[in-house]
Amino acid sequence: MQKTPAECTTMTDVRAEIDRLDRALMELFAERWGYIERAAEIKRPLKLKADIPGRVAEVRENARRNAIDLGLAPDFYERLWSELINHAIAHERKLLGEDES
């Protein structure tokens, strides 16, 4: 049964909730990855590149704003999202054949 932080009375409770959230985050990352792959499929016939700087800036700013809205450290989450973006772009480049010389 899910507990709020305040309802956790032991480290076992806290660890169980962190593990539950980590799994939920991974499920969301897996869902996000499906959209990354679909983006590459859509970009191919449109001859769009994997790296679209305007969109990259928008996603980074969204991460920063969302972190601020939720009381989190914006610099950290913007860096974390930058890693996600870089990983996605590298994957799209492979799918689009951009990394082939």
Integer Cα distance of 88 and 38 in angstroms: 12
- Residue showing tokens 């499929």: 41
| Token pair of 73 as six digits | 């450290």
Please count the structural domains in the chain: 1
Beta-carbon neighbour count of residue 66 at 10 Å?
14
Q: Is residue 72 part of a domain?
A: yes
What range does the domain containing 21 cover?
A: 5-96
pTM attached to this predicted model: 0.86
pLDDT (tens digit, 9 = 90+) per residue, 17-66?
A: 999 999 999 999 999 999 999 999 999 999 999 999 999 999 999 999 99
Beta-carbon neighbour count of residue 80 at 10 Å?
13
Q: Is residue 101 part of a domain?
A: no
Q: What CATH number did the domain enclosing 88 receive?
A: 1.20.59.10
Q: Is the pLDDT of residue 99 over 80?
A: no
What are the backbone dihedrals phi and psi of residue 14, each rounded to the nearest 5 degrees, phi first? -60, -45
